[in-house]
Amino acid sequence: MKRILTFIIAFAGIILPQSCQKSNADTNTEFQPIVLTKTQQEYVDNGNQFAYNWLRVVNKDQKEDWCVSPLSLQFVLSMLANGANEETLSEICSVLGYGEEGLAELNEFARTILSGLKGIDPSTIFQSSAIALADQGVPFVSEFKETVSGTYGASTHEMDFSNKQAVVDWVNNWASNNTNGMIKKILEVNDLTGKIYSILGNALYFKGKWTSRFKTSDTEQTKFYLENGAYKNVPMMKQKGSFQCTQTEAYKQVTLWYGNGAFFMDILLPFENKTIDDAIDYLVINGRRYGDPRDADIWLPRFEVSTEKMEVNKQLTSLGLSEAVFDGGNYPGMQKGLFSSFIRTVQSAKINVDESGSVAAAVTVNTNYAVAPAPTSGVFEFHADHPFLYIIRESSTKAILFAGKYGTN
């Protein structure tokens, strides 16, 4: 019996380009909300719950600042599900929160989300790309090939996997080309040990401009206090205005919009006696807290964070996927003659945030808190001078594109 060694790779990148030009982004074009069925919106809500649980694991696993893309990971696992047998498919869908409606409903959901995200804001760039590479002579099953190509936009190819350098170069060029050079390398030759039969990948790229931009002239060096009690001086962006604000017992939250409002970033700033873990725990139990318009005084560091080749398998097994999904799982619908598999899943992601917006990219190759109401009068002070969590979402569905932590070191 042949064993599959399949790499699932996901890249994600976000960039907010620096500018000292006009203070507001082009908001003339009103975005059209993504229209989902009741079942599809449940997929988003359940997918966000999966994301919160994953963020909890990532934060415990990573010792430095991190950035991830739940959406990129979900797309790659959905592609993989299309080749799985019934038992493995059921397990993947259960962990991702996709229920028992079947592959047709899952793929239609992915198609709707992907098509809806593109072009809803002319001032924001959102790109999703995918690949499915098969070893020469062990082609993909035609139905699998048609689905990942037609639904997920995957470019499908056969290559001679015995020439590992050529495969690595091809994948890395794809990653770089589809993240605007933000992620230049996701694989190395020594990653391809043993016999490799296929590689699945997804790349997301996001570039958005703040609806209300920070003026570069207001940015100044300010103390930022790290988790270990030390501090460093950082370029702190500052502005005052009306923003959606709220707070819980664990954190303060402010929402910063991009472009015409199709996308936004929530920034969660834990209180002095709370941590990033506390903030994520609140999300796991309660979900997103909605804010109200308030006059606010915002401080936010200009920052850049990269996470390189994060191993995801163990993180997913801690969320409920059995080890058999990755080591011994059956994917007869993917490649002919291959039944037993070993799946390795890695993700790289990067984000740049500055006065005018954010740029992000990612690539993936395979205790209840009481709510403390925010004060309703006075200026809402949001000074992000210590570690915080950030989450980038699409506005109408609230789907999570990117998330991360800043302030460890």
What does the pLDDT look like over 164-217, one tens digit per residue?
999 999 999 999 999 988 888 889 998 887 778 889 999 999 999 999 999 999
Give the model's pLDDT for residue 367: 31
Among 4-13, 17-26, 153-162, 216-225, the range scoring the smallest mean pLDDT is 17-26
CA distance 96 to 113: 15
Helix, strand, or coil here: 256?
Answer: strand
Average pLDDT over residues 106-113: 95
- Reported CATH class of domain 216-301+368-406: mainly beta
| 268 burial level (CB within 10 Å; 0-12, 13-18, 19+) | buried
CATH topology of domain 2-210+304-355: Antithrombin; Chain I, domain 2 (3.30.497)
pTM of the model: 0.91
| 376 burial level (CB within 10 Å; 0-12, 13-18, 19+) | exposed
Give the model's pLDDT for residue 11: 56
Quick one: CA torsion of 155, 161, 167, 168, rounded to 10 degrees? 130
Give the model's pLDDT for residue 376: 54
Residue whose structure tokens are 């990573």: 62
Which H helix or E strand runs over 155?
A: strand 154-159
Instruction: Calculate the CA 335 to chain-centre distance.
Output: 28
> Among candidates 380, 258, 274, which has minimal Cα distance to 266?
258
Structure tokens at 253: 């939250």
List phi, psi (to 5°) of 325: -60, -35
Model confidence over 84-93: pLDDT tens digits?
A: 888 889 999 9
Radius of gyration of the chain (CA): 21
Residue whose structure tokens are 């996701």: 186
C-alpha to C-alpha distances, 129 to 148, 155, 362, nearest whole angstrom: 11, 8, 11
CA distance 146 to 176: 25
Residues 6+ apart with CB under 8 A from 177: none
Mean model confidence pLDDT for the chain:
87
Residue whose structure tokens are 């991190």: 66
Give the model's pLDDT for residue 295: 97
Q: Is residue 340 scored above 80 in pLDDT?
A: no
C-alpha to C-alpha distances, 390 to 249, 326, 407, nearest whole angstrom: 18, 30, 11
36 — pLDDT class (breaks 50, 70, 90): very high
Task: Provide DSSP, 160-180.
Answer: -TT-HHHHHHHHHHHHHHTTT
Contact predicate 39/101, CB 8 Å: yes
Ranges in the chain annotated CATH 2.30.39.10: 216-301+368-406
Ranges in the chain annotated CATH 3.30.497.10: 2-210+304-355
